[in-house]
Amino acid sequence: MSTDLKVVSARLHRVRMPLVHAFRTSSHRKTFLDHIVVELTDASGATGWGEIASSSDPFYAPETVETCWHIAERYLLPAVLGATWEHPEQVSARWAKVRGNQFAKAGVDMAVWVLWATVRGRSLAAALGGTRSDVVAGVSLGIEPTIDDLLAEVEHQVAAGYPRVKLKIAPGWDVEPVRAVRAAYPELDLHVDANGIYTAADLAHLRQLDEYGLTMIEQPFGPRDLLTHAALQRTIGTPVCLDESIETVDDLETALALEALQVLNIKVSRMGGLTAARAAHDRAQDAGLRVWCGGMHEFGIGRLANVALSSLPGFTLPSDVSASEKYYARDIVEPAVVAVRGVVQVPGATGLGHTVDRALIAANTVDELALGPEQE
Ligand code: OSB
Ligand code: MG
């Protein structure tokens, strides 16, 4: 009997979910998200779920929901449908000639991994080689209208038990909020994320952040500006963390060669999937970097993939895998992802480990596409 898998039909659901708290970064503000839920079905009727967690606008990464839909429909799903395979890595290899488009690839790759884990009767974490049964979560806080609003938000999250807080910064909202939060919480594990808004002209300004005992400064400069990240790292004690700059393991090699980082934020979406995210983890671990798992305000499916990835041994810093309730009144997985004193359990059950709420997905779907033999 063959152990091969074959996806026989695929469905894309564009799902719209309101955020419980508006989120603002140096590049955009959002009150709801449209993510694309990917549903793959194999010949035995098993389902693999994935999530394309692209922002709507090309301000974090070049992709949008529309480009992801196009790439998935036109290039990725055709590479998956009807092919036989034994391991998820063989599936992503089939679209290797598609350049970039990491978010689109990540959502389809995730669905393939979840299908594989489900059919093999393993948890996603175990399938990936995870070793932890729980992971530590931090929170990422957006730019607030006032410092008092920010302090109230920090207080709320610290009271909820999160042991690490990341603050979004931008010109005009950097040293002052950091000073205020540090004064109120002298011992808090605190870091900042600029989403690439600064330039080399801001080097002296950013060095002022060195006195606040931050765990890291995440992506101060543009994604391609590795040289300025290296220049900052040479002149401050605070570790520099890269996010947007690292879309492939090759990018990581270059950044390592330039000594442009001491910490790596690994996002499943930005790396183009779980296979690539795991490869980045392995390389970062070899290089002695500290690693954590970043997030894109994922719905439950992408969130559980982040939790599974965070169970790998190299993820030693708190990850942006906060509980569902921080983002959504009701999540598309059942039960929702919960954090108890900032700790999230890694599901041990098969596949994603939580049930996907098809009714909630259907109720929030604004566009849908089915692909498979019956549509051809
Ligand atoms: O830079 O990490 C980022 C959200 C959207 C786009 C980029 C980023 C973020 C976050 C939120 O920081 C992380 C999360 O809580 O999912
Ligand atoms: Mg970031």
Residue 178 sits in the same domain as residue 138: yes
* 82 within some domain: yes
Query: Residue 54 is part of which domain span?
Result: 5-121+358-370
* 279 within some domain: yes
Which atom of ligand 1 is least distant from the CA of 298? 16
CA distance 193 to 113: 30
Q: Contact, 188 vs 181, CB < 8 A? A: yes
pLDDT of residue 91: 97
pLDDT of residue 27: 84
CA distance 163 to 102: 30
Please give the distance, rounded to the nearest whole angstrom, from the Cα atom of residue 218 to the centre of ligand 2.
6
Residue 230 sits in the same domain as residue 301: yes
Ligand 1 cavity residues, CB under 6 Å: 60, 140, 193, 195, 243, 294-297, 320, 322
Calculated CA dihedral for residues 260, 317, 179, 237, nearest 10 degrees? -40
CA distance 90 to 268: 18
* 352 within some domain: no
* 177 within some domain: yes
Residue 244 sits in the same domain as residue 268: yes
* 185 within some domain: yes
pTM: 0.97
State the average pLDDT for the chain: 97
Among protein residues, the one with the nearest Cα to ligand 1's atom 1 is: 195
Residue 172 sits in the same domain as residue 240: yes
pLDDT of residue 316: 97
pLDDT of residue 102: 98
Residue 220 sits in the same domain as residue 96: no
Residue 160 sits in the same domain as residue 188: yes
The residue assigned the tokens 């900052």 is 232
Q: How many helices (H) and strands (E) does the chain have?
A: 14, 16
* 326 within some domain: yes
Which atom of ligand 1 is least distant from the CA of 243? 1
Residue 29 sits in the same domain as residue 14: yes
Residue 308 sits in the same domain as residue 219: yes
Please give the distance, rounded to the nearest whole angstrom, from the Cα atom of residue 246 to the centre of ligand 2.
11
CA distance 73 to 13: 12
Instruction: Output the domain CATH number for residue 296.
Output: 3.20.20.120
Which positions are annotated as active-site residues?
Answer: 168, 267
Domain count, the chain: 2
Please give the distance, rounded to the nearest whole angstrom, from the Cα atom of residue 296 to the centre of ligand 2.
9
Among protein residues, the one with the nearest Cα to ligand 1's atom 7 is: 296
C-beta atoms surrounding 156 within 10 Å? 14
Among protein residues, the one with the nearest Cα to ligand 1's atom 14 is: 295
* 375 within some domain: no
CA distance 365 to 373: 23
Residue 133 sits in the same domain as residue 264: yes
Residue 194 sits in the same domain as residue 209: yes
Q: Which two tokens stand for residue 39?
A: 């549903």
Instruction: Output the domain CATH number for residue 28.
Output: 3.30.390.10
pLDDT of residue 376: 44
Decide the pairing of beta strands 29-42 and 139-141. Answer: unpaired
pLDDT of residue 2: 56
* 10 within some domain: yes
What percent of the chain is modeled with pLDDT above 70?
99
- Give pLDDT < 70 ranges for the chain: 1-2, 374-376
- pLDDT of 286-329, one tens digit each? 999 999 999 999 999 999 999 999 999 999 999 999 999 999 99
Q: Which two tokens stand for residue 336?
A: 């929702």
Which atom of ligand 1 is least distant from the CA of 195? 1
Residue 46 sits in the same domain as residue 147: no
Residue 80 sits in the same domain as residue 136: no
Please give the distance, rounded to the nearest whole angstrom, from the Cα atom of residue 348 to the centre of ligand 1.
26
CA distance 203 to 191: 17
Q: How far from 11 is each of 44, 76, 83, 92, 101, CA to CA, in Å?
A: 16, 12, 16, 18, 19
φ, ψ (nearest 5 deg) of residue 234: -65, -25
pLDDT of residue 3: 77
pLDDT of residue 1: 47
